[in-house]
Amino acid sequence: MPKVPGLVKGLGVTMGTLFRTVKEGADTVQYPHAKEAPPVRARGVIALREDNCTACMLCARSCPDWCIYIEGHKQLAPPRRAGGKPRQVNHLDRFDIDYALCMYCGICVEVCPFDALFWSPEYEYSEPKIADLLHDKTKLGEWMETVPEAPELEAGAEKKK
Amino acid sequence: MLHVAVEIPYWGQSLLRVLGGIAAVLLPAGTIVYLFLFKMMSFMQSRLGPMEAGPFGSMQLFAEVGKWLQKEDIIPENADERIYKMAPIIVLVSTFLLVVVVPFGPDAWFTNFSAGVFYALAIGSVSVIGILVAGWSSANKYSLLGGLRAAGQLIAYELPMVLAVVGVVIQAGSMNLQDIVVAQNTGSIFGWDGIGFPFVITQFLGFLIFMIAVQAELTQVPFDMPIAESELVSGYMTEYSGFRFLIFFIGEFATAGVFAFIASVLFLGGWGVPFAWFGWDSLDQVDNWMNIGGPLIMLTKMMVLTGIIMWVRFSYPRFREDQLQRFAWKVLIPLSLANIAVTAIVKVAI
């Protein structure tokens, strides 16, 4: 008997939600017709800024799923200053991420010392064929356009030099 | 039996009855599933539910049925095949047998038993056999546990249901459902006959117990131990797929509709309007249009009652097995016995 008020209250909650949904609309979004804007820092897809990449392999080695494939070769670049020795640089030949394997942990983004990998909130890249989920460096580079501006640092945070 | 101008031959009457029975079972089932299971539940969870198939998703049910019919009919290797195949049909047939006694109008009934209440309560428990058989024959531990739980629960809640109805039978002085409808619509409250005398007023406790027992009989949520999906996968339905699952599914909601029909006959005045409104004195004087209006009134009452059943279903968490049994034996049965005693004493005293 003492539980009856609680039971009635429970019925009230569901009926209240029903009327609220009728009056103000649902909390959900009718996906293909309307899209939800994901938060700025959402982990949608990983974008590559090719110029920053030195083919150092840190991301490929830290990836728990081994879904990053990197190939590169050494080549000579013109010297920084006139009369200097030509520099040796790593040239990136191949940078693929297999999104069929990726588990979106973000360790590669964290570990990259040269700011070459970024999170983008874009999420609509499903494919009818699983092999098409292997994004090469051109495609990963295209995702760079969707990477949002880095949010403002918190007050008192250490500035990057 | 029908007071229409053309005399309908016996085979025609039989055909009408069969079609009417199918309509009386499947129409409520479809409406309940779309209106309550798809839409009301979704809105209570602040979402819209199916919206793609037809306007506002109203064709969703046909899409679902089409999907189920395409599925492979899987029978487990160790299952008792013939009984396994029979079980869903037993459940559905018990629903059809149940709707047979429900009167929908002065002449719109399938059969007019003089012991209609007795028949309804007896047939109402036949579905237990189907469920128990489904659980045993599946050769699956989850199915078996689900079937046993279902049997224990349905037997426990059959009793308060029967006892709650006894109060109505005492008050109406008849076990014929048609007589019970007439008794409610010809009655008057202290001489005022504006709304007749629906038994829900005097038998409110009985109505409450009956609805709780119906909730348990249908294994709707606070009492869904037999199919408890977080414990038993899907209980006695675990191994069923395709159209056999579909039959169980239809059976569940069709039975909800039929029990709501019976509850509205017993407690809410059934198909009738208060006879005093039109100056009718007895069943024979009721106008013929009530054969059309009656079913509509019944449908409205059925929708309200199933709406409440589903509302409760979507609001509450599941009982534990021991709480469930304790609630039936220690609360509902003593209460319904007390209800019978009080009703009998008052009936004799007046």
Task: For A70-83, write each residue's pLDDT tens digit.
Answer: 999 998 888 888 88
Residue B202 to residue B200: CA distance in whole angstroms: 6
Q: Is residue A99 part of a domain?
A: yes
Q: What is the pLDDT of residues B202-240, one digit of tens each?
A: 888 889 899 999 988 888 888 888 887 788 888 888 888
How far is the C-alpha of B223 from the C-alpha of B180, rounded, in Å? Answer: 29
Q: Is there a contact between B172 and B180 (Cβ–Cβ < 8 Å)?
A: yes
Handedness of CA B202, B205, B208, B214 (dihedral sign): negative
User: Which residues are CB-neighbours of A66 under 8 A, at least 6 positions away?
Assistant: A60, A101
Query: Quick check: is B4 in a domain?
Result: no
pLDDT at B63 over 50: yes
Percent of chain B at pLDDT above 70?
97
Q: Which residues contact A23 (CB under 8 A, 6 or more apart)?
A: none
- The residue with greater pLDDT, B347 or A66, is A66
What residues of chain B lie within 8 A of the CB of A27, using their CB?
Answer: 46-47
* Three-class secondary structure of residue A122 per DSSP: coil
Q: Has residue B79 been placed in a domain? A: yes
Which of A7, A13, A18 to mutate to test binding with chain B, by most B CBs within 10 Å of its CB?
A: A18
User: Do the domain assignments include residue B2?
Assistant: no
Residue A153 lies in a domain: no
DSSP B231: H
**Closest to B75 measured CA to CA, from B139, B26, B120, B157:** B139
Q: Is residue B36 part of a domain?
A: yes
User: Residues B156, B232, B32, CA angle at the centre, nearest 5°?
Assistant: 70
Q: B290-315 vs B10-32: helix axis angle to the nearest 10?
A: 30
> What's the pLDDT score for residue B1?
44
Q: How confident is the model at residue A61 (pLDDT cuts 50, 70, 90)?
A: very high
- pLDDT (average), residues B287-296: 80
Mean local confidence (pLDDT), B47-72: 86
Q: What is the pLDDT of residues B84-128, one digit of tens each?
A: 888 888 888 888 888 888 888 777 777 888 888 888 888 888 888
| Count of CB pairs separated by less than 8 Å, A with B | 40
**Of A119-123, B15-19, B85-89, B193-197, the least confident:** B193-197
pLDDT in tens, B119-178: 888 888 888 888 888 888 888 888 888 888 888 888 888 889 888 888 888 888 888 888
Is A89 inside any structural domain?
A: yes
Residue A57 lies in a domain: yes
Residues of A with CB under 8 A from a CB of B: 7, 10-11, 13-15, 17-18, 20-22, 26-28, 30
Structural domain containing residue A127: 45-146
Residue A104 CA: distances (Å) to CA of A36, A110, A130, B172? 20, 12, 17, 69
- Does residue A131 fall inside a structural domain? yes
> What is this model's ipTM?
0.72
- Provide the number of structural domains found in chain B: 1
CB < 8 Å to A20, chain B: 46
- Give the per-residue pLDDT at A71: 92
* Residue B164 counted as domain residue: yes
B118 and A CB contact within 8 Å: no
Q: Is residue B59 included in any domain, yes or no?
A: yes
Q: Residue A98: helix, strand or coil by DSSP?
A: strand
Sign of CA dihedral A93, A97, A101, A104: positive
Which range of residues forms the domain containing residue B110? 10-349
Residue B82: other Cβ atoms inside 10 A: 8
- Burial class for B190, CB neighbours closer than 10 Å (0-12, 13-18, 19+): exposed
Say if B3 falls within a structural domain. Answer: no
Q: Cα dihedral sign for B88, B93, B96, B101?
A: negative
pTM: 0.79
* Domain count within chain A: 1
Q: What is the distance between the alpha carbons of residues A9 and B47, in angstroms, rounded to a whole number?
A: 21
- What b/e readout covers A5-33, taking b as 16+ CB neighbours within 10 angstroms? eeeeeeeeebbebbeebeeeebeeeeeee
The whole-number average pLDDT for the span A126-144 is: 90
The answer as to whether A130 is a domain residue is yes
Q: What CATH number did the domain enclosing A133 receive? A: 3.30.70.3270
